[in-house]
Amino acid sequence: MTATSILENMSETLVPRDVVQRVLNESMGRGADFAEIFVEDRATASASLDQRRIQELNSGRSRGAGVRVVVGETTGFAHTADLTETGLLDAARAAASVARDGRGGVREVTLSTLRDHPSRAEVPPSSVPKSHKIELMTRADDVARASADAISQVQVSLADSTRCFLVANSEGVFAADEQVRTRFAVSCVAMGDGGMQTGYRPLAATRGFESLTLEAIEEAARGAAHQAMTKLTARPAPSGELPVILAGGSGGILFHEACGHGLEADAVMKHASVYAGKVGQQVASPLVTLVDDGTMTGEWGYLAVDDEGRPGARNVLIENGVLTDYMWDYLRARKEGRASSGNGRRQSYQHLPMVRMTNTYLLAGDADADEIVAQTPRGVYVAQLGGGQVNTATGDFVFGATAAFMIENGQITTPLRDCNLIGNGPEILQRVDAVATDFSTTPGTCGKDGQQVPVGCGQATMRLSGITIGGTAA
C-alpha cells in the first residue's frame, strides 16, 4: 500500500466521507453561512533524563473533532471525543444553535476530491523502541559531562508527535495531512567561581527520527555544555543604547515577536497592531525582507496544509522595507473578499483556528558576518535570545539575551551575564544596517490566546545600529 493510499484509508477510518457530508449538511441546513469539521488523531510520546535517571517516559493518544459554524458575524463552536455519526451530529447542532432563528432549510454541500499529504517521516516515531530513545538521551548526557569537569548537572528531553487530521468545509474543501515532529533538547549546569550558569541547545524538525542523528545529538550536548562553561566567566552586561549584532538563527525570535504578531490579520482588523493601514508604506530598512513560509520542508513550522485545509504558502510580508501584506486565516480573509494565506492554525481539535505564523524569517543579505563584527567598534553580540513579550498595539518589546558577548575594537570578547533587549518593533526594523549571508533557523513554540503551536524563526547575522541594553553594569 502506498503512503497516499494509507492516508486515504486513515481519513476513512477517522470519519467516513459520507458522514462528513451529512455533518456539514446538518450545519448548513440550520441557517449557517459557513460550516467546517476538523477531525484529529494525535499520538505523543515524551521522555526525560535528569542526573542520569529517567524521570519521565510517557505516551498518549487523543482523538476528536471540532465543528465550527458561522452565521453572519457570529461563530459557534463545539468539540467532541465521540467520532460516531451521532456524536458528530450532536456537535454540529450545538455549534449551529446560534442559527436557530435563521432561514433553515436544506443546503447540500459538495465536497471536492480528498487532497491528502503523505508523511515526510522516513523513520516514524512509532517504529522507534523506548530503549533506543533512552540510549540517545544517555549518549547526550555522557558527551555533555565529558566536555568539562565543571558540568554538574545535565537534563535531556525527547518528544515526538504524530498528528493526523482531516478538515472539510461547506465550500468543498476536503483535505488531510499527517504531521510528524521530533524534538530533542539538552540543558547543562556549570559550577565555578562565577556561580552557577546554564546552557541549552534544542533540536527540532517536522520529520521522523532520521533527524536525530548521533552526530546532531552529540553536537547539541557539546554546545549546551560549552555555553554553560563560557558564562562562568561572564561579567555584567552594560546598560544603555548600543549597536547589537544578532547571530544567525536565534535573532529571528525577536522579529517573530516584535513585528510578526503585529502582521497577523486578527490584530490588524481589531486595530490592535501598529502596522494596521500601512500596506505600501516603508516600515523597515531597505535591507529587510520578512517572509512567513509554511512550505519550508522539515522546519519546525512546516505544514502541507493549514488547519483549515488551505495549502501552506510562502508569504512575503515586508519587501525591501515596504509592507506588502498581512497573514490571513479563512474568516478574516473572507471578510475582506480575499483568499487565506494558509495561516489558519489551532492547537488541537478542541480549539478554534486563528491567524498564526509558521516559519517567519528575514532573507539573507550579501555582507560577510565576520566583517560586520569587525566594522563594529563597540557593541553587544547576541548569540542566543530567550523569551520575550511585545505589545502589538505599540510595538514595544522586551527580550532576554541568554548568550551574549561584548564587542570591543571590532572583536567578540568577554561573555556577558543574561540581560534584556528593550525597544520598539517599527524603530528596530528601521535600524537594521547590515545583513550577512549565513542564514539559519531556530525552533520555537508560539503562544497566543492560550494556544501553543510550533513555529520556526530565522535570519542571517545582522546588525542593529542601536538598541537599549538592560544590563546591570555600572
Residue 144 sits in a domain whose CATH number is 3.30.2290.10
Identify the residue whose cell numbers are 452565521. Answer: 71
Domain boundary among 174, 199, 231: 231
Beta-strand relationship, 115-117 and 174-192: parallel
Number of domains in the chain: 2
Task: Based on the fold, state whether residues 319 and 384 are members of the same structural domain.
Answer: yes
pLDDT value, residue 68: 94
d(CA 22, CA 19): 5
Task: Based on the fold, state whether residues 264 and 143 are members of the same structural domain.
Answer: no
Q: Which residue segment(s) compose the domain that 454 sits in?
A: 240-470
Are 8 and 114 in contact by the 8 Å Cβ rule? The answer is yes
Domain boundary among 210, 231, 252: 231
Task: Based on the fold, state whether residues 149 and 189 are members of the same structural domain.
Answer: yes
Task: Based on the fold, state whether residues 433 and 365 are members of the same structural domain.
Answer: yes
Task: Based on the fold, state whether residues 377 and 433 are members of the same structural domain.
Answer: yes
Domain boundary among 212, 231, 250: 231
pLDDT value, residue 322: 98
d(CA 446, CA 256): 9
Task: Based on the fold, state whether residues 161 and 282 are members of the same structural domain.
Answer: no
Task: Based on the fold, state whether residues 370 and 465 are members of the same structural domain.
Answer: yes
Are 438 and 371 in contact by the 8 Å Cβ rule? The answer is no
The continuous run of DSSP H or E covering 453 comes out as strand 451-459
What is the value of pTM for the model shown?
Answer: 0.92
pLDDT value, residue 1: 37
Task: Based on the fold, state whether residues 212 and 246 are members of the same structural domain.
Answer: no
All residue ranges of the chain with pLDDT < 70 are: 1-13, 98-110, 194, 473-474
Task: Based on the fold, state whether residues 422 and 299 are members of the same structural domain.
Answer: yes
- Give DSSP secondary structure letters for 91-159: HHHHHGGGGTTS--S---------EEE----SS-GGGS-HHHHHHHHHHHHHHHHHH-TTEEEEEEEEE
- Give DSSP secondary structure letters for 311-374: BP-EEEEEETTEE---B--HHHHHHTTS---S-EE-SSTTS--EE--SEEEEPP-SB-HHHHHH
